[in-house]
Amino acid sequence: MTKYYRKIRSFVRREGRLTKGQQRALDELYPLFGIELEAKQLIDFETLFGNDHPVHIEIGFGNGQALTYMAAEHPEQNYLGIEVHRPGVGNALLQIEQQDLKNVRVIGQDAVEVLADHIPANSLAAVYIFFADPWHKKRHHKRRLIQVEFVKTLLSKLKQDGLIHFATDWQDYAEHMLAVLKQIPNIENLAGEDQFSERPDYRPVTKFEQRGLRLGHGVWDLLLKKK
């Protein structure tokens, strides 16, 4: 049977120091719940999860709070999280262990590369991107993850009627996302053109989001369907 992991590469990223718990999780739990793919290797989801349940991906899962919450609430679905920040990956692994979750796997690699090279076409039920870096300075807008070609890539990986869910706490980024959607024909905004959706129950309100709401920050959710 194909195994989807090997030892974590020992390269250095510019990030905070790992706690002892996070380091233990990366050392001991990543080989159990993590995926490190060979070049151009497509993931066989039925082999990976041991079932044919729908597969949901969260890109940039941060500390794993939303990812593990969704997985715990919906054991009938499979969840794959992608995150390059190693402390966040460690936190997610610890939550997977603590909650004894069987339906979650994580990848500590760049999401653009993972989507392009490792996710089969028409294989996903949903993709979630919550609070991506807004790159709020105008000269940095080109670095934003949500761009036309990236959304087209997401659509190519989704099954028919598959869901994309974006959330942001930057109004400018929310408006940017609406502008991106206008350039993509085979996508439907479930709230209506140029409208935002109410937060669905499956997306938890994180501590970060709660703090922003107390400060009067808005949050914008976009729920999109592949036509």
Active site positions, annotated: 133
Residue with tokens 């991106």: 180
- Please report, for residues 174, 177, 188, 221, the alpha-carbon distance to residue 198 in angstroms, rounded to integers and kept in the order given: 14, 16, 16, 7
Distance CA(108)–CA(89), nearest Å, equals 7
Cβ-contact 76, 53 below 8 angstroms: yes
Contact of 217 with 211, CB cutoff 8 Å: no
| Cα three-residue angle 197-203-207, rounded to 5 degrees | 115
